């Protein structure tokens, strides 16, 4: 599991918490995001498109600039 190209173990070091805590927090955040997207879907929004765009956006942030 990686976030900004850091492993969960390295993120644990950065934030001063165990690796398992990082993994749990990331899992919870993904579930919260999915729940919010499901709410949008019930309101008529296109969840799959939103997820894809979110992934593209996150990937663009990680891409080297220049």
pLDDT in tens, 12-59: 999 999 999 999 999 999 899 889 888 877 776 666 777 777 778 778
Number of domain units in the chain: 1
In three state form, how does the secondary structure of the chain look? CEECCEEHHHHHHHHCCCHHHHHHHHHHHHHHHHHHHHHHHHCCCCHHHHHHHHHHHHHHHHCCCC
This prediction has a pTM of: 0.61
Instruction: State the residue range of the domain holding 12.
Output: 2-62
């Amino acid at each position: 599991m990686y976030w900004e190209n850091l492993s969960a173990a390295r993120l644990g070091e950065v934030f001063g918490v165990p690796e398992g805590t990082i993994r749990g927090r990331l899992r919870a955040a993904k579930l919260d995001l999915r729940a919010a997207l499901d709410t949008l879907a019930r309101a008529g929004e296109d969840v799959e498109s939103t997820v894809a765009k979110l992934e593209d956006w996150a990937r663009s942030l990680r891409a080297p600039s220049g």
